[in-house]
Amino acid sequence: MKRKLLNFLLFIFLGCQFAFSKEYLSVKDNSGAQYMLEMSVQDFEENLGQVISKIDVWKDDSFTIQPYYMSEFPVKGIEIKYLHDRVCEISVSKSNFIIDELNITVGVKEENIKKVLGEGRYSLDSKYDNEKGKFIIRSRIITYYFENDIEYSLSFFIDPETSICSSFKMSLLDGDIKVSDLEGNLYYLGMPVERVFEIKGKPKSKNDLWEKRNNPLKAYYSCEYEKFSFLYFEDNEQENFTNRVEEMIFNSDEYSLIDFNIGCGNSIGQIRERFKGTLYEEKFEFNEIRQEKEHRLEYHCRGINEGYTLGFVFDKDGVCTYFWLSKNSSE
């Protein structure tokens, strides 16, 4: 009983420490060098050597506005995936790399991972075996979630026969494309609504767009600020449900798309050139809310975890007056 209590308190301590940490968990090698999500590729190369492979995961895909690369290093046992120069995923398959803050690495038993981090979310990595005519389970996957300015996950791949960790990876959950304001605050699809309120304060107005559905368990809110608005679901059916941003609209040149330096004030020609090669829809539609006809460009993009739409609206001179991001999935 006393041991269970100690493990519970340790889990609570770690949860509080990492859930609100401004630093990511780090992977450390034998030399003591540390590697984290959102570091640059050059930061990795300083200690691991120049990348020996560079595969564009989304090559020849016309539904992307940015390349997504996977690379290996001369030092074996670690791989990364990155957008532009920002690392989005770190995969480790050798015990010469360790999660520094947790003292966990490849080769530890599943029970020891759970002693440190508690119960995670389970899933299976399986593959269909044509000879046997059935799916074969290759790994059990335990995933834990952490919250920084951007949310990320830590997943352990467990051998189903030995219950030993064969590899682990850290992955950004959102933030395929991010927007920054003049103060450096970041906005992205899927960010917790409470985080937006921390940055922006109380909205000027908050309206339930599903009010007529008369459903006490679900709502779809629109929150309005002076030059910014966002939409989110509120779900009272699920326990511990985190309300997350589904759509964001930016109405000022105070906001800019990170990695692209594009936003309000740019011309339609500049935006087409910046996203050259990506399929888009060009529309001329009447906006019922604004009561005016709009000229739009919409890019329907592949994301790391799910698809999204990036849209721009232009005035009669072809200058962007506002832009938006929205998840492709709704309810």
Residue 6 and residue 117 share a domain: yes
Q: What does the pLDDT read at residue 201?
A: 95
* Lookup result for tokens 């352990």: 156
Judge whether 279 and 63 are in contact, CB under 8 Å: yes
If one compares 221 and 236, the residue with the highest pLDDT of the two is 221
Q: Is 164 helix (H, G, I), strand (E, B) or coil?
A: strand
Per-residue pLDDT at 5: 43
pLDDT for res 149: 60
pLDDT band at residue 37, thresholds of 50, 70 and 90?
Answer: very high
Average pLDDT over residues 295-314: 87
Block residue for tokens 């981090």: 117
Question: Which pLDDT belongs to residue 318?
Answer: 93
Q: Which of 239, 147, 238 is nearest to 192 (CA)?
A: 147
Look at residue 289 in the predicted model and tell me its pLDDT. Answer: 67
pLDDT reported for residue 7: 42
Gap between the Cα atoms of 286 and 148, Å rounded: 39
Mean pLDDT across 256-269: 92
The DSSP call for residue 328 is S
The strands making up 218-224's β-sheet, listed across from edge to edge, are 205-208, 218-224, 228-235, 245-250, 320-327, 308-314, 292-301, 281-287
pLDDT band for position 22 (50/70/90)?
very low
Question: For residues 93 and 55, what is the distance between their CA atoms, to the nearest angstrom?
Answer: 19
Environment class of 28 (CB within 10 Å of its CB; exposed 0-12, middle 13-18, buried 19+): middle
Residue 6 sits in the same domain as residue 141 = yes
Its domain, for residue 321, covers 179-327
Same domain assignment for residues 225 and 269? yes
Question: What value does the mean pLDDT take over residues 142-149?
Answer: 80
Count the domains in the chain: 2
In whole angstroms, give the CA distance from residue 253 to residue 266.
9
Average pLDDT over residues 2-21: 40
What are residue 156's DSSP bridge partners?
142, 168
pLDDT at 158: 96
Q: Which residues pair with 129 in a beta bridge?
A: 134
Q: Which residues contact 233 (CB under 8 A, 6 or more apart)?
A: 218, 219, 220, 221, 243, 244, 246, 331
End residue of a domain, out of 138, 153, 172: 172
pLDDT, residue 292, reads: 78
Same domain, 66 and 135: yes
Query: Measured between alpha carbons, how far is 44 from 56 in angstroms, rounded to an integer?
Result: 18
Q: Which of 9-23, 129-143, 266-280 has the lowest mean pLDDT?
A: 9-23
pLDDT of residue 285: 83
pLDDT at 216: 64
The pLDDT, as a whole number, for residue 15 is 42
Give me 69's structure tokens.
């690369």
115-145 pLDDT, tens per residue?
A: 999 998 888 888 877 887 878 888 999 999 8
Residues 124 and 231 both lie in one domain: no
- Tell me: do 254 and 119 sit in the same domain: no
Assess whether pLDDT exceeds 50 at residue 291: yes
Q: What is the DSSP string of 190-255?
A: T-BHHHHHHHH-S-SEEEETTGGG--TTEEEEEEE-SSEEEEEEEESSSTTPPPBEEEEEE-STT-
* Same domain for 321 and 183: yes
Is the pLDDT at 193 greater than 60, yes or no?
yes
Say which CATH number the domain at 18 has: 2.60.460
Distance CA 34, CA 7 (A): 27
Domain stop point among 172, 196, 224: 172
Q: Which residue has the higher pLDDT, 254 or 218?
A: 254
Tokens 């006490």 map to which residue? 216
Judgement on whether residues 269 and 152 belong to the same structural domain of the protein: no
pLDDT at position 307 is: 81
Do 144 and 183 share a domain, yes or no? no
Q: 171 vs 26, 79, 92, 140, CA distance in Å?
A: 12, 12, 12, 17
The predicted pLDDT at position 215 comes to 65
Whether 126 and 264 share a structural domain: no
Whether 131 and 198 map to the same domain: the answer is no
pLDDT in tens, 65-113: 778 889 999 999 999 999 888 899 999 999 999 999 999 999 999 999 9
Among 172, 197, 221, the domain boundary falls at: 172
% pLDDT > 70, the chain: 85
42 and 74 in one domain? yes
pLDDT at 1 over 90: no
The pLDDT-based confidence of 234 (bands split at 50, 70, 90) is: confident
Write the DSSP symbol of residue 306: S
240 pLDDT higher than 60? no
pLDDT for the residue 9: 42
216-235 average pLDDT score: 87
